[in-house]
Structures are given as C-alpha cells and as structure tokens.
Structure 1
Amino acid sequence: MTDKRDRLEKWLLRSLEKYFLPLLLGTVVMNVIFDTYYSINVSVATLGFTLYEIFLFWFFEKIKKKKILRFFIYCGIGAVMVFLSGMLIGAGWQRSGVSFYEWFYLSSSEVGAVFEYNAFIFGGLGFFLISVLYYFTVYRFRIFGVMLVTMFPFVIYGKRADSIETLNLTFMMTIFLAMMVHQRLVADDTKKENSGSKLMINSSYTVGIALFVTFVGAVTMLLPKPEFKSQLENNTGIFKFNVNTNKTAYDDLNDVSSPRFGADSTGEVLFTVRSSQDVPEIYMRRQSFDYYRSEQWVLRDEFNDWRGIEDGADNEVNSPLYLYNMMKGLAETGRYEKYGLTNDLFGKYNEYKTKPWLNISGTTYSPSYIPAPLMAATEQLGYCSRNVHGEVRYRGGYSATYGGIGISYGYTAEGNAENAYVNSLPFTRASFERMLNEAMNNGDITPYQYSNILRVYELYTEQGGVSDRIAELAHKATKDCESDYEKCEALVNYFLKNGYIYDLDFEPDDESIEYFLFDSKTGVCTSYATAMVLMARAEGIPARYVEGFAAFERGANGEYIVRDSHAHAFVEAYIAGAGWVTFDPTVPDYKQVAQQQQGAGNAAEAIRTFIDYFSRIALFLGVVFVLVFVIFLDRIVELFFRLRMKFRKTSAEKTLALYRRIIRLLELSSDRDANIRGMTPQQILSLAESRDAEISRAVSLFEQVCFGGYEPAAVEFEAAYSCYKQSWKALANKNKKKLKRASAQ
C-alpha cells in the first residue's frame, strides 16, 4: 500500500513538473481573452477551458508515441476544428447580423454578445493556442512559441486601444517568466544528469522562482512609463474603414444599434454647433433603425430597395417640411374640409416659418453621414442630401475632409408653435388614408407620394419585440388620449411619473426590455427609446428608434459643445398629416449626469490614477513582505517551536517534542527520497554529525525516555536543549558555507 502511494505521489509530482506551468499559462491567457469577449460567466468559461486544455494535453501525450500516424491524426483533428469554426462564424453572422470582423475588432459593449463567436473563441482559437503551448513547452521547448501565446492577448486588446488590467498583466507575465526560468533549468539539468549534478525540484525551488518573477513583475510595474499614444489611440475608429475612400470613423451607417448597457465615453469634444436661434437643446440624428430583434435594433434587407436614390425631393416625402407644404396645398384646394383640413389650420400657429441656421465645425470629427436635426432644410444644400430614413450625407464632390468638418444648413426648430400645429391636426389613420386616396384620385398628389406615405404604416408598426405585457402597458398609459400625438406625449410622461431612473453604471440581471419596464425601471437612453418605440407600435403608431446626439451644453460664446458622452437615443413617431416628429422619453437626469461626468472627469481621472498607482505600490510591498517572510520562514517556524516548548509540562514531553523537531529538520533538508522517519536514533545521530550538528545528548535522552520510561530532570533537558539551539541551523543544512570551509581545512 505504501509503495503504491509513493508511486502515485511520484507520478503526480512528475506531472506537475511537466504540465503545471504550461496549463496555468494557457488558462491565464484565455481568461484575459474571455474577459474581452464574454460579458458574463468568464470564470465558468475559464474553468471549462482548463478542463479542455487538460484533455487535449492528455490526448497529445497519447498520440505522441505514434511516430508517423500522429501527424495525420493531428491534421485531421485540425481540419475538423477549422470546419466547425467556419460553421460557427457563418451561423453567428446569419443569426445576429454582426460580421465576425466587426465583433472581433470592436468591444462587446458596442456590437453585443454573439454566442457562436464566443464558441469559436473557446473551441477553435483555444485549440490553436493549446496546440502551440503543448508543442513548444512539452514536446520541445522554444521560447518564441511560448511568447506567441503570451502576446496574443495584447493583439486582442490592442484592436480597440484597450489595456489589460494590471493584476491580469502581472500574473500572465509572471507565469511566462516562471516558464522561461523553469525550462532553462530543466534543460541545463538534462545536460548535467551524467555528471551527478541533478536539479532539485521541490517546494523551495517553486517558491524561489515564484518570488523572483513576481518581484521582477512588481518592480516593473512601479517603473515610470513614457506617455505615448499610438495611431489607434488617437483614432479609435481606425479599424472601421471604407475600402473605397480610406476614411475611418463615422463613415457609414451601422447595421445594428448600439448596446443598451456598458457604453463608455471619455468626454472628448467631437464638434461644436452654432445656431442663429437660441433654443434649449437640439436633437441631432445620425441614423434610425427599423426592426427590433434579439434585444437589438437592426436594419432589414427588404428596406434597402425602398430607400431609393438619395437625390431628389421625393425621398423626403415623409419629412415634416415636405408634408407641411403638401397638406397646405391640399387645404388651399378647399376639397378636403370634411376631413378637417382647412386654411385656418396653417395660419394659427405661425409654424414652420422661421429657418434658423446651424453651423457644425470640428477639427477631428470627419463623418460622411453628419448629425442633423430631423427638420434640417437639406433641400437648400447643394452639397448634402437626405435619404428616406432622414440621414444627411455629403454629396460626392464635397465629402468630409480628414482635417475635420465644417458645414452649415437651415432647419426648423421643433418648438411650441410646431408642436401645437401637430397636435391640432384632426386626422386618425383611417381618415388620413381616405383623404390621401381621394387626393390621389383627384390628381392633387401622385401615386408615388400616396404609396410612400402609407408604406410607413406597414413598415413601422411591425410588432417584433412587442409582448402582451408591453401592449397592455401601452394601452393603460394612453387610454385617455384621442390623437396619436397625445398618445406619444403620454408615453413620454409615463416614464417621468412612474419612478424611472437614469443610471449609466447600472448592469441589470436581465437585459430584456420587459425587465426594464416592469422590474428595474433603471437604464439609459437606449432603454427608454426602445421601450417607447415598442409601446407606440403597440398602439398602431409608426415609430422608429434613432441614434444621434443631444446638444445642450453651452460654451463661453454661446455655442453648443457636443461630446462623445452626449451620444443619445430618442424616438421619431409618425403623426398623420405631420410626418416624423421627435420625442425624447429619457428622464431629464441624463443631462445632469453628463454635466457631472464632465465636471468630475479630471478629478475622477486623478483618482483612478492614484488608485492604480497605489495598487501597484501595495502589490510591491506585498511581494516584499512575502519575500522577507519566506527568507525568514525557518526562523519564524523555529521561534514558534520554542514558544510551544515553554507550555509543555514535563521534561519527558519536551524531550519527545525535541526529537520530533530534529527529525523534521532533517526531513526538510534531505533528498525527498530519503526515509528519515525510518532511521534509528543512532542513524539520526550519524546523519546529524555529518552536518557538524551536536545532538548526542538529545538523542541519548530520547532513548531513555522512549524505551526506558525515564523522567529526566529539568537540568538534563536544558543541557540537551542548549546543544540543539546551537545546532539547529546545521540540522536544517543552513551552514553549508561553514561546512565547506571546514572540509577545505
């Protein structure tokens, strides 16, 4: 039984010596990668990968003995992994609509989590890294291969100018350095086997390497680092480029909306806006989305044909300015008074008369789709056009320069007069459709105008994402409203009156929109806008989700300052006879939060810098403490032994404890194969004398107490104990230099 246990212990020790560091390095590297792409269950994924890694190491060891066959086995498995990886990537693209390129080069907070891509990282990329680790650490050691694995997370994080957490980086590089030292010593040990100089791999060796590499890592972290920003850090959109124009950030519209949680901002100023009219805020849209799928807004392929050519006024048939002029023209005919469309309606509020001008300028902001209010008068701009979704784009010869943006355009502010006009329109969907049909038959509008207006109801009342609970809530919130405009206002007010909270740092247990509406009631603008669009559609009101900016911060000269932290999501609802109208359901707290963030930005950055540096100092001091503790560990243990001796009652008990301590010191300082406990007292005495340790009195006294039942006097024990105190370092083999000098003499 003892032999079997010894063989098992030796097998475990050999396995740890051979596989532990490679397996640990692979686990740490993949944990850092998982932390980039996995929003949840990082620990579970890391544990699963460790088991996956152990299995592959075991399998590779099995096929290693098959000289020729192993090559074909590995190639076959590799081909299967490549095939499965391709299937996972294809399936992820089909299901999510997010290309692997976007997912890989953008953070998960921007494009969302894709299960198939996560599975590829775990299985496909993991198989590659494990294979490289096994070959370059177990089969044959090559530092370049190990470095390849270690550097891979740096490539992943570098894609978005992100930085690996200090502790993760330190741990990863510590394991890498430990691997280098270990493999170097093992290689030297192999060369010295014949000379009798054998490497002793024990607890002292392990602790020594760990302390050395950790100490080096801690010192490295404390060294000052030069301040340098790469092209990627200066331009975070560098990976999002257009092949034809070589532009980078903000070139094209996205296929999916931004994530509802985890967004980050720096407070960087993107551009400034000057207006000829003083208004509290301006909603500047960049793009809208059509369908709600898998907790995300998407653009659908069937809309592409409808978008049509961007040139021409017909593309703006559903814009408020276009519809206003069309409704006014119909009223002037006098044929549609039975629907409530009269001339009085257009002179009552003096709506849509003022055309203030906006000027957008920025030195680094270079989009091709520029932010603009919904009611921007792009028909007055020869160098811009707007598609049916409302996105404003530069025309060919006037594209944005790489040095920034400078553009001016007119717009109609959505103020009190405009909103009062929209609210006064007498149409329901049914009456509006009947009037349009009659106007088309009378030749007052074209069939193209008629079909494009009515298609809005078909496309933007789609019920994806509208559950029974959401529909019931929408009905309850709008039950006392008559017009669609009143219903939209009621939905905006619903969030104000029912305790909803704006919180940028909130991370919900459930990311569904139902959880936001009914449980947490906490979120950011993306959640508020999504909820209102779904509730409006539940009421049969065409609505769309829009992303852009809220310009409300004023500079010293009265200009609007738009930062990346002012990115905002809001709602555009289609009101019969008026077209698309802007609504913002987000509770007003977001403005204060943005201003507080900006005001506290420098202080927060200073605090983060202090905490980061303090953590490095704490880690350094911790390593120093552990280093000092280990250096003096034997003395500390010896001190505790001597303290315990004071509490033993009889000299016999003290004698037996002293002998056990001698045995323990000899065990710790001898080869692990030596059977110290099986030695007789005289053999113990001989071994101690070979180390120049004087313990004869202690051994003699032990034999009398153990075998003769003798009760020694206190003075006898003190004499033996005094000899031990002078010899304990020799027993622990701490007097090597002294012994060498003695043997030389």
Structure 2
Amino acid sequence: MTEKKEPLKWLYASIAKYFLPLLLGAVVMNVIFSTYYDFFVRPVTAGFIAYECALFWFFEKIKKRKILRFFVYTGLGLVVLTISGWLISSGWRDSGVSFIDWFYVNSQEVGSVFYYNIFLFVGLGFFLISILYYFTVYRFRIFGVMLVTMFPFVIYGKRAQNISTLSLTFMMTVFLAMMLHQKVMADDYTNKKGRRLLMNRSYVIGISLFVTFVGAVTMMLPKQQYQSQLEANRGIFKYYLNSNTTDYDDLNDVSSPRFGANSTGEILFKARSQHSISSVYLRRQSFDVFRADQWVLRDEYNTWYGARDNVDNAVNSPAYIHELMYNMAKTGRYKDLGLTEDLFGSEYKNLTPITLTGPSYSPSYIPAPLMTDVDSITDNNYNKGYRTVHGEVYFERGNSTRYGGLSVNFDYLQEGNAEYSYVNRLGFTRESFEKILTRGVYYGDITPEDYSQVIRVYDRYTDKGGITKPIADLAEDIARGCKTDFDKCEAIVDYFIDNDYIYDLDYIPDDESIDYFLFESKTGVCTSYATSMVLMARSLGIPARYVEGFAAYERNDDDEIVVRDSHAHAFVEAYIAGAGWVTFDPTVPDYKDRASEGNGNNAANAIRTFMDYFSKIALFLGVVFVLVFVIFLDRIIEFFFRIRMKFRRTTQDKTLALYKRIVRLLEISSDKDKHIRGMTPQEILQLSISREAEVSRAVSLFEQVCFGGYKPAEVEFEAAYSCYKQSWKALAGKNKKRSAKAAV
C-alpha cells in the first residue's frame, strides 16, 4: 500500500513546486508568440511547455553537482547561442529583413521570418526559462520573476501594439499567484535552513495592493501626447554609421501584408503648399510581380541602386510622354493613326510647389507624387543628388550625406481634371500606339531607346501571375462596352463602389486569396482593392503596377496636410497608351472617413474611449477580486465548510467532518515534515492546546463516535462546534504571533 502512494506523493510535490513557474513561462511566451506568429500560436505554446519541462528536468539533474553544473550550463548556453546566431544570420540572408527590424517593428511592416520565429522559441525561450528556474526553484526572488513578466510589455510597447485584456489579466493573475508561491517556497527554505524569513505575509499583501493600485491608476489616466526620443524615433536601436535612420527608411523587396495592419496615428511628416491641394498620393514604391498573395520585385531588378536604375526611366513619365506625343502630332505625319493636335489642351502645364517636413522622418526616398520634377528638389538635410526610378524618387548614395529629419521642397504636376480629360480623349490601343512609335523611330521623332523602354512596360507589367479564371472573367464583364483602356480602368474603380464592397481595417478573413475578397467577403483594406484592380487590368492587357505610399488629405489648424502612419495607402498606376502612367484609387472612399474617426473627437471615438476605460476598470476590479480572493482564501474555505456542515443530516457525520477539518487546519499550518494525519486523537488534542485552541469537546466526541458508535445529541455537538468556531484561527496558525508576544 505504501509503495503505491509514494509515486503519487512525488507527483503532488512536483506539481506544487514546478506548476506555477511553468505556467507563468507559458503565459508570458504565449503573449510574445501572439505578436510574432500569424498562426499556430497554441501549438507553439504547447511545444514551449514541453521545452520548459525538459529544461527544468535537466537543470534539476545538474543542480546537485556544484562545480560541474557551471560548465555544463555554460556549454549548453554556448550551443544555444551558436544556434541562435545561425538562425539570425539565415533569417537575414533569406528575407533581407534585419533582426532588429523584425523584433521591434510591427510585423505588418516587415513581414514574418521563419528563422527568427525559431530563434524566438529556442534562444529567447532558453533565456527566459533559465531566469524562471533560477528565481523560482533555485533562488526565491520575486524581482527576477517580475523581470520575466515585464518582457512582453517592452516588446508590445516598442512595436506600438496592445496586449489583449484577457492575456493581461491572466498574466497578472499568475504573477500574483507566483508571489504567494515564492512565499511558500521561501518558508520551506527558511524552516530547513534555520534562516530568518525575509518575505512575510504583510509584505506580500502590501506590495500586491500597491502594484495593483498604481497599475490600475496608470491604466485609467488619459494618455498624454508627449513622446520620448524612443517613441519618436523607432529606429533608435538601429546602428548605422553617420546616419539617423528610422524603420520607415528603407524600400522593401516585398509588399506589406494585406491584413492585420496596426497603425498608431503617429505623425510622420507634414506637407504645405501655396496652391490649393485637397489631397495628394505620395508614392513610396511600386511592385511588379504577384506571388503567393504578395507583391514582390522582379528578381533581376530587385536592387534599388543596381540594374534597376536603367529600367523604366523618365521616358514613361506622363509629362514626358505628353510632350513626345504633342511634338509628333505637330508634324502631321500621324493623322491616319489618330494622333492629331486637337487631342491636346492645357494639361500638364502648371507646376505645384510643395514642402515636406518631418523632424524624425529620415527616408532614403522622398514620398512624392508620380510627376515630381527631380531637378526642382532643394533639401537642407541632403546633398543634391536625386533620381527617379519607376516613379520613386530616391537619393543617389554616392552623392549624398544623410542627416536626421525630412525637409524638402519640390514641384510636381498634379493629376487634375485637365489631365484626366486628356487621357480620356485618347483612344489608342497597344497596337495603334506601337504603330505610332514605330513610325516615330523611322522618321527620327523618337529614339530607338525610347521605343524599347515603352515596349518593355507592356512586357513587364502585364505578367499574368495571380490571375485566376474567375478574376479574368469578372474583368471582362466589367470592361464590356468600354472603348478605351482609361474607360476600362475607371469601370474597375466604380465596380467596387457600385457593388457595396466594405472597407474594414479590423477584418481578417479565413481565406486571404483575392478570389475570396472579390467573390465572397467583399471586405478588406486598400491592399486588397489595389491588388484586385492590378490583376484585373493586366488580364485585360493593360499594364498596371501596385504602389504603396501615403494618401495625404488630413489638414490641421495651420492648414498643413498631416501625414500619419495610419495614412499609409496602396493604390494603382495603369499605363494608358499615349499617356503613360496614370493614378487610380480603387479603394472605396470609406477609408478616409475611417481614418478621420481614429484621429477626431466624434461620437464613435468617444464610445471607443469609454469602452477602453471600461475594460481597464473591469481589469482592475478583476485583479482586485483575485487578490482579495487569494488573501482571504482561508476564510472563504472556512465559510464554505460551515455551509456544508448545515446540510449534514446526523450528528455523527457532523462530528467526523469537524474532526477532519481540525486535522486539516493543523496539517496546513504545521511544518511539512510533521505527519499530522498519522497522529492519535490525543496527540491532535495536545498540538491544538499548544496553539491555544479549545477543541477538547470535539476530540472527545470524535473518539466516542469513531470507536464506540456513540450518537451525540444535537446540544453536545453544538457545544463542541461553538468551541471550534472560536478556535479555528488558532488551529490555522493565525494566532501564532500574538501567542508568542504574550509568552514574552
């Protein structure tokens, strides 16, 4: 019988010793996994629990070997460090995204990197497990546990994300439970070693109440708009020689993820112009190939400062194409092909000056409209040297010295009514446009290089990747009856509005394919709308490219256009024969209203603010409830014991239950090496007397009932029960300190 109980006893002891540390580690890492892993968070967390158990078992095995354990742990740490270094370097080679960018920047900006995810599990997991083991099993220091608990807050704060209320509540609850766990372990350690206890009950209750109260007050206070240097410059941990860069600095080889964006409303820069500007599309970069539901740069042109410099230069700028076509029309040699002077008017004539300023925004490109006059750029923070490639304006590395902040002035041609009217008048197809260009080369009106650049646009930007038959069929239906390429593009833009598509930043679909967006959910953000239009335009033979940048339209009290990170936008540029690249925005107009709601003081924002504060208050009350429950746990258990006593039918059952309760209280409050349950009733009585507890009547009744079959009268039991009620605190060790003082 004894042999069967020993394994069970060992199991109970192991659970009591390791359960809460393992649970806290799992909760903390689950919160961290939730911000880095798009899927499989629960399976990964389950795997991490197994990882924790394995390392805890290993640490326990080497714990008793005082000299050897140092070398073994150091060796294991070096192995993990080596693996971590290999994972980080492999992630950099595979994705081109630095680990600092991936670790600190919102995942929607840099994407997911498999190698970094593995490092998070193996390397960071090993580090946190080691800290947890040391401060919860080997040493008992609540400060070390607090460091582990604070780690998710550092990550979420740097990445401008919010920990969910449920995760935060659970993590804080487990942390508070760990505080009590540390006390129990410290008590046991003190009793075995004969040392003075440093952390008592009053300390635990006091520090718990203080932390809870201060944390709750901090959560409920309104957030001020002041920013530290760390908040203002998210790239503060980046290390570049002679530069002050930010996370928005570099152009990417892949587009942003289409779902789950999490902007902060942070102001990146401001724009001011002497001319009236209602809104403007500021380009960041374009992409040409759609692979695996994401836009990428074509492999042979994936270097911004290499081969890509010679591709699609200024010849395909709308202003350049317009001037070229106008000069050809004046010769009169192309009338039979439809190129006549009456097609032209006052379009592409008026330059609009604009100034961009941002003290902490230091890009390697200028967020600028499509038709920017590069020669007009003046910049106090950069040496002269800019180039336009694919419409992106960036500085030439060899001729520039970079400083912090953005402060540039330049001119650009607006795409207004006159420009769109001109494009709409053109009725050229690809075939007729090529005939005009071929004849132009023959007569010397254009160069062979210009001709090849235009033709290359059709070869490059009509890639059929990602175009399914349903998408192609839909494009054909939309374009039916349209005479020109411009009409077809306009029809695609109108299709989303006319068919009640929805703009929703918070929507994450079960299926991220474009087919699902177009035919099932009809709900998404700008990335889905722009991608859909590019694919449909290409299926119709119209060159189109996916562009990421900013939609600038919000004005402040100083009549400046304010550009926030929440104004990041994806739109489309389609190549119209005879006109060049033309901007289209297929996203339903709701997105401007939604962004304004997030930054304005309206009813919806007030409701969201109220709900936010309500959730924080609810969290505070929940934590207080848990804390009070833990503090008064013994009283709560006693309360339910007395309720159950009322439902016992016979005085014999009540007597046995009362004696069992007395033994249980003595067992909880006594040293673990005392076998209370193995004591005789008289030994139990003597131990109770030493606690100044009067339970002699209850013990006497128990002996009579248990050994003599006696049936006590109700009055006898009530007398014994009354004495117990006055003595239960003494049995539980509550009067130990008071008794000690009285003895002195």
TM-score (structure 1 length as normaliser): 0.84
For 1:11, the aligned partner's letter is W
Q: 8 Å contact 2:230–2:236 — kept in the other structure?
A: yes
Find the residue that maps to 1:26 and give its secondary structure.
helix
Aligned pairs for 1:430-509 (under 5 A) are 430-509=431-510
For residue 15 of structure 1, report the CA deviation from its aligned partner: 2.6
Aligned to 1:360: 355
For residue 61 of structure 1, report the CA deviation from its aligned partner: 3.9
For 1:106, the aligned partner's letter is V
Distance of aligned partners of 1:676 and 1:420 in 2 relative to their CA distance in 1, 3 Å threshold: same
Q: 8 Å contact 1:150–1:176 — kept in the other structure?
A: no
For residue 66 of structure 1, report the CA deviation from its aligned partner: 7.7
For 2:194, the aligned partner's letter is K
Find the residue that maps to 2:551 and give its secondary structure.
strand
Q: 8 Å contact 2:321–2:580 — kept in the other structure?
A: yes
For 1:130, the aligned partner's letter is I
For 2:18, the aligned partner's letter is Y
Whole-Å Cα distance in 2 between the matches of residues 676 and 314 of structure 1?
87
Q: 8 Å contact 2:141–2:182 — kept in the other structure?
A: no
1:371 aligns with 2:370: no
Aligned pairs for 1:163-182 (under 5 A) are 167=169, 170=172, 174=176
**Larger deviation, residues 118-127 vs 444-453:** 118-127
Aligned to 2:34: 35
1:215 aligns with 2:216: no
Find the residue that maps to 1:510 and give its secondary structure.
coil
For 1:409, the aligned partner's letter is D
Aligned to 1:543: 544
For 1:618, the aligned partner's letter is L
Distance of aligned partners of 1:489 and 1:729 in 2 relative to their CA distance in 1, 3 Å threshold: closer
Count, aligned residues: 728
1:407 alignment partner, one of 403, 406, 409 = 409
Whole-Å Cα distance in 2 between the matches of residues 94 and 644 of structure 1?
71
Aligned to 2:524: 523
Find the residue that maps to 2:194 and give its secondary structure.
helix
1:192 alignment partner, one of 191, 194, 198 = 194
Find the residue that maps to 2:444 and give its secondary structure.
coil
Whole-Å Cα distance in 1 between the matches of residues 466 and 539 of structure 2?
10
Distance of aligned partners of 1:447 and 1:664 in 2 relative to their CA distance in 1, 3 Å threshold: same
For residue 81 of structure 1, report the CA deviation from its aligned partner: 4.5
Distance of aligned partners of 1:144 and 1:485 in 2 relative to their CA distance in 1, 3 Å threshold: same
Aligned to 2:47: 48
Q: 8 Å contact 1:178–1:209 — kept in the other structure?
A: no
Aligned to 1:283: 281
For residue 528 of structure 1, report the CA deviation from its aligned partner: 0.7
Whole-Å Cα distance in 1 between the matches of residues 742 and 248 of structure 2?
79
**Larger deviation, residues 229-238 vs 394-403:** 394-403
Whole-Å Cα distance in 1 between the matches of residues 13 and 707 of structure 2?
40
**Larger deviation, residues 389-398 vs 484-493:** 389-398
Whole-Å Cα distance in 2 between the matches of residues 567 and 517 of structure 1?
22
For 1:248, the aligned partner's letter is T
Find the residue that maps to 1:317 and give its secondary structure.
helix
1:581 aligns with 2:577: no
Q: 8 Å contact 1:310–1:385 — kept in the other structure?
A: no
Distance of aligned partners of 1:548 and 1:699 in 2 relative to their CA distance in 1, 3 Å threshold: closer
Distance of aligned partners of 1:625 and 1:278 in 2 relative to their CA distance in 1, 3 Å threshold: same
Whole-Å Cα distance in 2 between the matches of residues 398 and 581 of structure 1?
30
Aligned to 2:381: none
For residue 588 of structure 1, report the CA deviation from its aligned partner: 0.9
Whole-Å Cα distance in 1 between the matches of residues 642 and 489 of structure 2?
78
Whole-Å Cα distance in 2 between the matches of residues 314 and 700 of structure 1?
101
Distance of aligned partners of 1:66 and 1:680 in 2 relative to their CA distance in 1, 3 Å threshold: closer
For residue 659 of structure 1, report the CA deviation from its aligned partner: 4.5
Aligned to 1:327: 325
**Larger deviation, residues 669-678 vs 48-57:** 669-678
For residue 337 of structure 1, report the CA deviation from its aligned partner: 2.6
For 1:297, the aligned partner's letter is W
For 1:625, the aligned partner's letter is V
Distance of aligned partners of 1:353 and 1:454 in 2 relative to their CA distance in 1, 3 Å threshold: closer
Whole-Å Cα distance in 2 between the matches of residues 718 and 122 of structure 1?
60
Distance of aligned partners of 1:56 and 1:306 in 2 relative to their CA distance in 1, 3 Å threshold: closer
1:640 aligns with 2:643: yes
For 1:294, the aligned partner's letter is A
Find the residue that maps to 2:39 and give its secondary structure.
coil
**Larger deviation, residues 581-590 vs 212-221:** 212-221
Residue by residue, what CA displacement relative to the aligned partner does 1:35-84 show, whole Å, maximum 9, x if unpaired?
33123333332222011110222234446678898778767765665565
TM-score (structure 2 length as normaliser): 0.84
Q: 8 Å contact 1:570–1:583 — kept in the other structure?
A: yes
Q: 8 Å contact 1:339–1:426 — kept in the other structure?
A: no
For residue 502 of structure 1, report the CA deviation from its aligned partner: 0.6
Question: Where does structure 2 lack aligned partners over 5 or more consecutive residues?
Answer: 379-383
Q: Which protein is bigger by CA-based radius of gyration?
A: 1
Whole-Å Cα distance in 1 between the matches of residues 207 and 532 of structure 2?
53
Distance of aligned partners of 1:695 and 1:105 in 2 relative to their CA distance in 1, 3 Å threshold: closer
Aligned to 1:117: 116
Identity of aligned residues (%): 56
Whole-Å Cα distance in 2 between the matches of residues 400 and 64 of structure 1?
54
For 2:350, the aligned partner's letter is K
For residue 217 of structure 1, report the CA deviation from its aligned partner: 3.0
For residue 517 of structure 1, report the CA deviation from its aligned partner: 1.8
**Larger deviation, residues 733-742 vs 215-224:** 733-742
Aligned to 1:610: 613
Q: 8 Å contact 1:161–1:236 — kept in the other structure?
A: no
Distance of aligned partners of 1:212 and 1:507 in 2 relative to their CA distance in 1, 3 Å threshold: farther
Question: Where does structure 1 lack aligned partners over 5 or more consecutive residues?
Answer: 200-204
Q: 8 Å contact 1:551–1:562 — kept in the other structure?
A: yes
Aligned to 2:597: 596
**Larger deviation, residues 142-151 vs 19-28:** 142-151
Find the residue that maps to 1:387 and give its secondary structure.
strand
For 1:257, the aligned partner's letter is S
For 2:36, the aligned partner's letter is Y
For residue 491 of structure 1, report the CA deviation from its aligned partner: 1.4
For residue 317 of structure 1, report the CA deviation from its aligned partner: 0.3
1:259 aligns with 2:275: no
Aligned to 1:552: 553
Distance of aligned partners of 1:466 and 1:124 in 2 relative to their CA distance in 1, 3 Å threshold: farther
Distance of aligned partners of 1:669 and 1:115 in 2 relative to their CA distance in 1, 3 Å threshold: same
Distance of aligned partners of 1:442 and 1:243 in 2 relative to their CA distance in 1, 3 Å threshold: farther
Distance of aligned partners of 1:644 and 1:675 in 2 relative to their CA distance in 1, 3 Å threshold: farther
